[in-house]
Structure 1
Amino acid sequence: SFIKAKSNVAPEDIHALVELGFGIFHASQNKFVVQIKWGGLLIRLFKKHVERLSLDVQWRPLYETLIQTHFKRNMGPEGWKVRQQHFETITGLVRASRTFFPEGAAAEIWLEFRPLLENPWHNSAFEGVGFVRLFLPANPRNQDHFTTDWIAQCLHIWDSVTNCNFWDIQWAAIIARCIKNSRSIEWEKFLPLLFTRYLNMFEVPISSGNGSYPFPVEVPRNTRFLFSSKTRSPSKAIAKSVVYLLKPKSLALEQFEKLINFLEQFYHPSNGGRWTYSLERFLRYLVFYFERRLQHEQFDTMDEKNEQFCLGKEERAVFIKVVLKLLDRGQYSKDDSLAETVSIATSILSYVEPSLVLPFVATNFQLALETTTATHQLKNAVTSVAFSGRALLLSSLCSTQSGDSSMIDTLYDLIVTSLSNALLGMDANDPPKTVATMQLIGSIFSNLATVGVSDDVPAFLQTSSLSDWLDEFFCRLFSVLQNLESSSAIAEGYQTSIMPGTFLVEDSPHYFCMLEIALGKLSKTLFNQSLKKIAKFVNANILPGATSEVGLLCCACVHSYPEEASVYLVKPILMTIMSSFEGTPTTGYVGREVPNNMSTKVRSKPVNICCLSSYIHYTPAALYAHAGYTFSCSRNSIGLLSEGFGYIHQLCGSCLSEL
């Protein structure tokens, strides 16, 4: 209840529970299950109530538990899975508790582990730096420990071991933590050394080299396991350091631009390799920490001392211009993760500086439309527009209020062009482009009010324009559904009516979400126009390869306007189901070949039953409006379990749940 409570819980009650939890945790030595449960509970409490708690957590009992359990050869009866879960719990508890380490804890921890770092070529040095990274707090109580001389000492120790990825990751994380929390340190003198280190850690190739360390230093397997990083590269720590080094009139922006100018070429689609993962992580965390820092500076209360470190409009613009170089190179990457990260980064940055990012999106989308040799670029360009849909409409509204006509025209042109030209990407033979198109349509419509109600709106949202666009959209959609084939081989005879879903429903949720959003945003006039076309298509076509897709199309109609769907869609479906039962045996039918004169009726049942059950679920009144037909369909369906038990179970369940 303390974790799931929606209301505010008294801090003294949380404090008492935390004290109790730590008491049980420390009293349960060698009882892994108890420590796992209470350790996990404390972690969740700290994550939710960290800002409301004021307590002291001693670091040494946690350290002694960790040493006794995982750094001594006293293997107990527990299996390795339990021990691994225990290790993850106790290390997670240490990370969550660092905020509450008392004053002087940082100095004690440094004195405890500093002797292990004396000989950098001994295995104890790797354990020492792992413990420093795990335990060293950078909370406000321990800021006196972090001085310029101490940072210089750490950088000297870091530089004592070269060509060791483990060593670099640990020290990069320690320095990043200090950069974020220690504003009193003058970092300018360390910038050249830090950025040189960061560039070297990416291990990108130079000339004919492969970029990896020629003679890497090996770390003991046990140490590498116990102090493993969730990321396989130091990208997260580097991005965190870069973002929090930025401040007004700082040389960090200049150093950052130099770093990006060198790494930019390795984001190009033709220059990928094993380094692509670390570069993708770097871009993702770069934008993530930039967004987090801006949120912190905007909503948190700051004193005059800290306000001088806040980023102004000029610093934000310079940062985004530099990052746009990476987005421009990586947008059409062959690596799906990098391409997706570019779209996410574009979306986030478009809220910060829309005047810089949205023209970039528009330009790239136009270039992707015009290209004839690299048609795969359109998919990535459409995805970027989809991720930036809300920012596009929000910026167009703000530009209208401010009277910026040039920006309004640019944004409206991008919306119109993307909606009209994206329909060309709906192709049953090109699943990625089709899914991206549906994602774009869902993104645009989800940020609109009900359309088609008034003509006092931009031209592309007026009833006449939307009417023409809807006609073209449904023509494209029906063509895709007619050409769909299930992912498995189509069987002959009776089983052709029970086909699994295609890429529209199996690979992503965008198909149904797009239909539900788009139809739900239409006025009744436009919806009725669309519903008539859908009803005509559903009643005139039997598509064994797209049973689920057609069923979801009908579900979206029912969910949007149940009454209208009852007239044009559901009642004809009921009549079709009833007619299909005429002359159909109800028992002894499993495994037999379907007669030719009955195959059409049999194939149409699953999709029709699916639509009917969904209609009852969304509109219980249908059970009474068409009670006779509905229960007759349910009764006759029970004998045809081999024809798709799931659909029949759904229909019967919908009927019974509404009684």
Structure 2
Amino acid sequence: MKKDQTETLGFAPQKDIVYNKLLPYADRLDGESNDILAKIKCNLGRAVQLRELWPGVLFWTRKLSTYLRLYGRKFSKEDHVLFIKLLYELVTMPHLEISMMQGFARLLVNLLKKKELLSRDDLELPWRPLYDLYEKILYSKTEHLGLNWFPKYFPVSATQEMLDEWRPLLCPFDVTMQKAISYFELFLPTIMPPEEHGQGFMLWFDELMGLWVSVQNLPSWEGHLVNLFARLANDNIGHVDWDPYIPKIFTRILRSFNLPVGTRQMVVSRYVSNSYDIGHVVVWISSMLGGPSNRAQKQLDGLFSSIASFYHPSNNGRWLMKLMKLLQRLPASVVRRLHRERYKKPCWITPVPASHRLSDQDVTDFVESMKQPVLLAMFSKTGSMDAAQALQNLALMRPELVIPPVLERTYPAMETLTEPHQLTATLSCMIGVARSLLSGGRHYPEGPAHVLPLLMRALPGVDPNDFSKCMITFQFIATFTTLVPLVDCSSALHEREDLTEMERELCSASAEFEDFVLQFMDRYSKFLL
């Protein structure tokens, strides 16, 4: 099929949108997209040659952005590289209006997003024009727009050049330290093959890590350094030895939460506290997991043991939001790493070595360490959404460890009428684990057997007198009925002889689907009245 598409288009597309094949007019899309792409290439190139930024270049770059939304990266690798180089030149053009540059930068970000499509052999970009642009925007009266840089496409020699440029600014007692570290965070390349590490992060890793370990007075630039280390860890899993620093790393992470300690509930003042970006912290932690020693997992067990009590529903404070973000984002980061190691197609980016890939035991240990805090956070005063998202990702990894305790809390909550908050919280978490529950599989084969009992017990939740309970019940029923077809399969018991015991039980229970639908429609009609 791909070969036929290549012959029709005249090139091999980089990455088109696969769902377009399901459209009723899919057979006409190749010709339609080819015509649009040809117009964009012709008119955009002509506008650039004529130096007509307005309206020519701006109009056709917007057309290219629309093309990406409709068809994805449905162009050849050569066109992909040329589009990026053209947009890069436009973004770094001197004396360009900030609003126009922002529009070009957004399109450039979109073109560079799928880093697996282009390697550094296909594309190299000079780093100094970006540095000059950043210097002009950030250190001028013009408001900073938060543009994203792409250090993975800088040449091999760029690391040493950057160190020569910014190392003289490294003075912990001067304001230039903040400037230097922010430049390092943004520009230093971290995606390189192992044979080039000597010209990459090994030139600065020991120096910057020693600086981070030795400075203890909560400097403002510490968060930028942590972001750089997180990116390095994620791009080089198994190629950086973090073991000597892991105890210090987890100690600093725990300190950054600014948790209350002692009988007087002392906390660090909000004006001098140094809080790391949770998004980078979870990437750093998930990238260090695994390996022969698995030292990071032992430290993670200790971290969650020390903060588990803070997730109790009776606790509240400004620190709780950080803890809930950690709980929500860490399992998602580990799921992304597992997908990268086990399912993602190989590309030019260096794969994770077999010795440092997460094993089944590593995943089990991780889920066990997070299970208790997540179950406590289900009834948090900040809501149950963070816990539900955490349970969703934990259930994807180990449903047999996560789903049973959630069910143990859900069934009693459905039976009581005096604790509506408990019901809404448990239903929200059940919606999160619904896919893992209903898919069954070898890890949790008895999961589908809970479908009908849960749906029948949820019916009393269709109560117009309690709006929040009613809405979460509708969402719960809609989620389950979307994942499971409501079909009476009881006749299969007499027609098939190759059914397992669980399949026979499910077929027998499916006869009650009609009763559920009738009861739901009766309650729904009363709700509308």
Q: Which residue of 2 aligns with 1:433?
A: 469
The residue correspondences of 1:474-513 to structure 2 (distance < 5 A) are 474-482=521-529
Equivalent pair of 2:226/2:276 in contact (CA under 8 Å): no
- Stretches of structure 2 lacking an aligned partner (at least 5 in a row): 1-36, 38-63, 493-503
Judged with a 3 Å threshold, the aligned counterparts in structure 2 of structure 1 residues 285 and 115 are, in CA distance, closer, same or farther, namely farther
- Stretches of structure 1 lacking an aligned partner (at least 5 in a row): 76-82, 220-231, 483-659
- For 1:140, what is the secondary structure of its paired residue? coil
- For 2:124, what is the secondary structure of its paired residue? coil
* Alignment size in residue pairs: 443
Pick the aligned partner of 2:179 from 114, 122, 127.
127
Q: Which residue of 2 aligns with 1:204?
A: 259
The residue correspondences of 1:196-595 to structure 2 (distance < 5 A) are 196-210=251-265, 212-214=267-269, 217=272, 233-249=276-292, 250-298=294-342, 299-301=344-346, 306-336=353-383, 339-369=384-414, 374-395=419-440, 398-399=441-442, 408-409=445-446, 411-412=447-448, 414-452=450-488, 454-456=490-492, 458=505, 462=509, 464-482=511-529
Equivalent pair of 1:164/1:218 in contact (CA under 8 Å): yes
Q: Which residue of 2 aligns with 1:114?
A: 167
- For 1:27, what is the secondary structure of its paired residue? coil
Whole-angstrom CA distance in 1 between matches of 2:322 and 2:192? 32
- RMSD in angstroms over aligned alpha carbons? 2.9
Superposed CA offset, 1:198-252 (max 9, x none): 1111111112355642595499xxxxxxxxxxxx752122211111101133211
Q: Which residue of 2 aligns with 1:174?
A: 228
Q: Which residue of 1 aligns with 2:499?
A: none
Whole-angstrom CA distance in 2 between matches of 1:319 and 1:185? 21
Equivalent pair of 1:233/1:278 in contact (CA under 8 Å): no
Equivalent pair of 1:260/1:322 in contact (CA under 8 Å): yes
With normalisation by structure 2, the TM-score equals: 0.76
The amino acid across from 2:185 in the alignment is: R
Whole-angstrom CA distance in 2 between matches of 1:305 and 1:343? 30
Give how far 1:20 is off.
2.1
Judged with a 3 Å threshold, the aligned counterparts in structure 2 of structure 1 residues 467 and 13 are, in CA distance, closer, same or farther, namely closer
Bigger Rg over Cα:
1
Whole-angstrom CA distance in 1 between matches of 2:326 and 2:270? 25
Whole-angstrom CA distance in 1 between matches of 2:405 and 2:240? 37
Give how far 1:307 is off.
1.6
Deviates more, 1:352-361 or 1:104-113: 104-113
The residue correspondences of 1:52-91 to structure 2 (distance < 5 A) are 52=118, 54-72=122-140, 75=141, 83-84=142-143, 87-88=144-145, 91=147
Equivalent pair of 1:455/1:462 in contact (CA under 8 Å): no
Percent of aligned pairs with the same amino acid:
23
Give how far 1:68 is off.
2.4
- For 1:13, what is the secondary structure of its paired residue? helix
Larger relative contact order (C-alpha < 8 A, sep ≥ 6)?
2
Whole-angstrom CA distance in 1 between matches of 2:386 and 2:522? 33
Whole-angstrom CA distance in 2 between matches of 1:381 and 1:358? 12
Give how far 1:453 is off.
5.8
Give how far 1:145 is off.
4.6
Whole-angstrom CA distance in 2 between matches of 1:378 and 1:45? 45
Whole-angstrom CA distance in 1 between matches of 2:302 and 2:115? 41
Deviates more, 1:467-476 or 1:302-311: 302-311
Whole-angstrom CA distance in 1 between matches of 2:456 and 2:507? 10
Whole-angstrom CA distance in 2 between matches of 1:279 and 1:129? 26
Whole-angstrom CA distance in 2 between matches of 1:352 and 1:215? 37
Judged with a 3 Å threshold, the aligned counterparts in structure 2 of structure 1 residues 49 and 116 are, in CA distance, closer, same or farther, namely closer
Give how far 1:454 is off.
4.9
Whole-angstrom CA distance in 2 between matches of 1:129 and 1:463? 62
Give how far 1:102 is off.
0.9
Whole-angstrom CA distance in 2 between matches of 1:57 and 1:282? 35
Whole-angstrom CA distance in 2 between matches of 1:314 and 1:325? 18
The amino acid across from 2:262 in the alignment is: S
Equivalent pair of 1:365/1:381 in contact (CA under 8 Å): yes
Equivalent pair of 2:341/2:352 in contact (CA under 8 Å): no
- For 2:249, what is the secondary structure of its paired residue? helix
With normalisation by structure 1, the TM-score equals: 0.62
Give how far 1:50 is off.
5.3
- For 2:463, what is the secondary structure of its paired residue? coil
Superposed CA offset, 1:33-81 (max 9, x none): 4422322221111114652352111111111122123314xx5xxxxxx
- For 2:314, what is the secondary structure of its paired residue? helix
Q: Which residue of 2 aligns with 1:39?
A: 105
The amino acid across from 1:69 in the alignment is: I
Q: Which residue of 2 aligns with 1:18?
A: 84
Whole-angstrom CA distance in 2 between matches of 1:270 and 1:123? 42
Equivalent pair of 1:28/1:34 in contact (CA under 8 Å): no
Give how far 1:263 is off.
1.6
Whole-angstrom CA distance in 2 between matches of 1:391 and 1:106? 45
Equivalent pair of 1:422/1:437 in contact (CA under 8 Å): yes
Give how far 1:342 is off.
1.3
